[in-house]
A and B are shown apart, each in its own frame.
Chain A
Amino acid sequence: MIEFKNISKSFQYNFWDKKFKALDNVSFNINEGELVGFLGANGAGKTTLIKILMEFSRQDSGDVIFSRTMGNTPEKIKSSIGYLPEKAYLYQHLTGKEFLEYTGALYGIPKNELKELIAKWTDRMAIGYAIDRRIHGYSKGMQQRLGFISSLIHRPKVLILDEPLSGLDPLGRRDFKNILKELNNEGITIFFSSHIVPDVEEICNKVIFIEKGKLIYEGSIDELVIKNSNDLYSVKYLSGEKIETIQVNEADKREVLTEMLKNGLNIVEIEKEKPRLEEIIYKIKS
């Protein structure tokens, strides 16, 4: 759906300064229907890449290629994208409703339909009660929710979200994650950047990891986890009133389990030991 092909970008703040390479030959794909987590530490180049994707910033070299299903003109491509920048910066003197009317009108949504969509989404995002207030009276989380609505009100084909969960309280994070999963189940492709690994692990089926402007990994989370797993299984069984755990390796698994069953032990759970995505990321980085 979207292909990043050898993207490189450097910054030079003063002409006597050395060039700083923010992105170094980054290539990867976002395929239709995927929920992709874009991981990287602060300053890894995530926002720079998203700005290139949105044409706010120009790359030194490389291309961003959109599939034909997204449209054949810049306007049509933009119509099929919903974008939320890192922290939603909104017009402070407009009311929430006016802001949504503004952005909805730019997508060409008819007035009546827009009215219904605003009511639906503001209720869903729990800011319906504040929709007639001016935005400068909104909390950071409310502004994030309002910005999020403005990015999906036209039902885009792809959602590009830059750190959408930052600045949200735990309930807000849960709501956002649930909605992202729902939208993805409905067929919307989602690409969101984050530096919080558990968020990505929880909802994404694919991860792209960059470090210091270089692509480190692109692929499914399951594949990455299996690749970095050892061959140990933890077997939990009842010992009196306590649950005990023993570890067995792949080779001994069958023999140990047969022995345990022969001895009449009550096996409660057998699970392959998997490292958390966060641990794998730390391992890759080091």
Chain B
Amino acid sequence: MKNTLIVSKFTFIEVYRSKVMMSIVFMALALVLITYIASEFAYGAPVKVALDFGLGVMTLSNFGMAIFIGSTLLTKEVEQRTLYMILSKPISRTNFLCGKVIGLSSVLAINTIVLSGLAIGIYLFLGGKFQSLILWASFFTFLEAFLLLLFAVLFSLITNTAMAVIYSIIILIIGHSLNETSKLIFAKMNVYFNNAVKVGNILLPNFYKLNLKDFVLYQQTVSTDYLYNVFIYYILYFTALSIIVVQIFKNKNLD
């Protein structure tokens, strides 16, 4: 465990000093600009539009970061052979992988805190009312990005970087659309399609449930039971995926 934290600490320092952190600054500026322009053009509900755009930019930048960092996390280490320097020390592959993922998730956490903080700040500045649900939405966006990061790592272990990016984007799209797809009349009428959607719902992550932005913007409330259930679903899915990723990495030939 101690060695996992050592790896995560130095992974964070390494990423913090790379250009990734510059992208957070760039995204923060973009968020301010986009939110301001959007609220200026929104007649009637500028505050809501500002929050919508703010959370939207934060979500997109988290996804982008998760996919691109996750898909290069281990391939870069293998290609640049930095991994040999660390795996030759008394640390297991499992601990190394966990340390890398935790280190990178802390970058995602910073991105979430900075951008959601800015989005909330602008929202409050324009006269919006604070609601704790916004914080839940930000937290769930972080969880969603963390899961996506793990998918990107998984794909990078079994294919190349470019394909890992493409597959991760596909997972993201399917994960968001499966829930609504199952409600289509076509899906209900077609037995095979319906069964395929059901299987997809079991195997693929249900990102739709992690997206609380609609609750924040329109209903402004969500039951605690819903939040807990989604969180438990997330933990179970995340654990299962982590086990698969660790097993693949443990048995991978690092030629």
Asked if A106 and B81 sit within 8 Å, CB to CB, the answer is no
Tell whether B179 is near chain A: CB-to-CB under 8 Å. Answer: no
Identify A81's interface contact among B6, B84, B88, CB under 8 A.
B88
CA distance A91 to B15 in the complex (A): 10
Asked if B86 and A54 sit within 8 Å, CB to CB, the answer is no
CB B123 to nearest CB in A, in angstroms, measures 35
CA distance A90 to B81 in the complex (A): 8
Contact with A along B216-255 (1 / 0, CB 8 A): 0000000000000000000000000000000000000111
CB B57 to nearest CB in A, in angstroms, measures 26
CB neighbours of A56 from chain B (8 A): 84, 87, 253-255
Given contacts A93-B13, A93-B18, A98-B13, whether A106 and B90 have CB atoms under 8 Å apart is: yes
Tell whether B189 is near chain A: CB-to-CB under 8 Å. Answer: no
Asked if A57 and B255 sit within 8 Å, CB to CB, the answer is yes
Asked if A89 and B82 sit within 8 Å, CB to CB, the answer is yes
Which residue of chain A lies nearest to B15 when distances are taken between CB atoms in the complex?
Answer: A93
Tell whether B129 is near chain A: CB-to-CB under 8 Å. Answer: no
Asked if A107 and B89 sit within 8 Å, CB to CB, the answer is yes
CB neighbours of A51 from chain B (8 A): 254-255
Q: Which of B10, B92, B253 has the most CB of A within 10 A?
A: B10
CA distance A134 to B17 in the complex (A): 10
Tell whether A96 is near chain B: CB-to-CB under 8 Å. Answer: no
CB neighbours of A106 from chain B (8 A): 3, 6-7, 86, 89-91
Asked if A78 and B10 sit within 8 Å, CB to CB, the answer is no
Given contacts A56-B84, A89-B80, whether A102 and B254 have CB atoms under 8 Å apart is: no
Tell me the total A-B contact number using a CB cutoff of 8 A: 78
Asked if A150 and B85 sit within 8 Å, CB to CB, the answer is yes
CB neighbours of B255 from chain A (8 A): 11, 48, 51, 56-57
Which residue of chain B lies nearest to A83 when distances are taken between CB atoms in the complex?
Answer: B88
Asked if B92 and A75 sit within 8 Å, CB to CB, the answer is yes
Q: For window 160-179 of chain B, which residues contact chain A by CB distance below 8 Å?
A: none
CA distance A74 to B250 in the complex (A): 14
CB neighbours of B253 from chain A (8 A): 56-58
Which residue of chain A lies nearest to B88 when distances are taken between CB atoms in the complex?
Answer: A83
Tell whether B40 is near chain A: CB-to-CB under 8 Å. Answer: no
Asked if B89 and A85 sit within 8 Å, CB to CB, the answer is no
CA distance A105 to B253 in the complex (A): 26
CB neighbours of A107 from chain B (8 A): 89-90
Asked if A83 and B84 sit within 8 Å, CB to CB, the answer is yes
CB B180 to nearest CB in A, in angstroms, measures 40
Q: For window 148-172 of chain A, which residues contact chain B by CB distance below 8 Å?
A: 150-151
Identify A57's interface contact among B89, B91, B254, CB under 8 A.
B254
CB neighbours of B80 from chain A (8 A): 89
CB neighbours of B214 from chain A (8 A): none
CA distance A261 to B82 in the complex (A): 65
CB neighbours of A85 from chain B (8 A): 81, 84-85, 88
Asked if A54 and B88 sit within 8 Å, CB to CB, the answer is yes
CA distance A15 to B74 in the complex (A): 24
Q: For window 55-96 of chain A, which residues contact chain B by CB distance below 8 Å?
A: 56-58, 74-76, 78-79, 81, 83, 85, 87-91, 93-94
Tell whether A37 is near chain B: CB-to-CB under 8 Å. Answer: no
CB A149 to nearest CB in B, in angstroms, measures 12
Which residue of chain A lies nearest to B99 when distances are taken between CB atoms in the complex?
Answer: A106
Given contacts A54-B84, A106-B6, whether A94 and B14 have CB atoms under 8 Å apart is: yes
Identify A78's interface contact among B13, B15, B90, CB under 8 A.
B90
CA distance A274 to B131 in the complex (A): 88
CB B249 to nearest CB in A, in angstroms, measures 12
CB neighbours of B81 from chain A (8 A): 85, 87, 89
Asked if B88 and A102 sit within 8 Å, CB to CB, the answer is no
CA distance A81 to B85 in the complex (A): 12
CA distance A50 to B18 in the complex (A): 32
Asked if A91 and B10 sit within 8 Å, CB to CB, the answer is yes
Identify A147's interface contact among B7, B85, B91, CB under 8 A.
B85
Which residue of chain B lies nearest to A79 when distances are taken between CB atoms in the complex?
Answer: B90
Contact with B along A25-60 (1 / 0, CB 8 A): 000000000000000000000001001001011100
Which residue of chain A lies nearest to B3 when distances are taken between CB atoms in the complex?
Answer: A106
8 pairs, A vs B, C-beta closer than 8 Å: A56-B84, A75-B90, A76-B90, A89-B80, A89-B85, A94-B14, A94-B17, A106-B3
For the complex with contacts A98-B13, A103-B86, 20 further pairs of A-B residues with Cβ separation under 8 Å are A11-B255, A48-B255, A51-B255, A54-B88, A56-B254, A58-B253, A75-B90, A78-B88, A78-B90, A78-B91, A89-B84, A90-B82, A93-B15, A94-B14, A94-B17, A102-B86, A106-B3, A106-B86, A107-B89, A108-B90
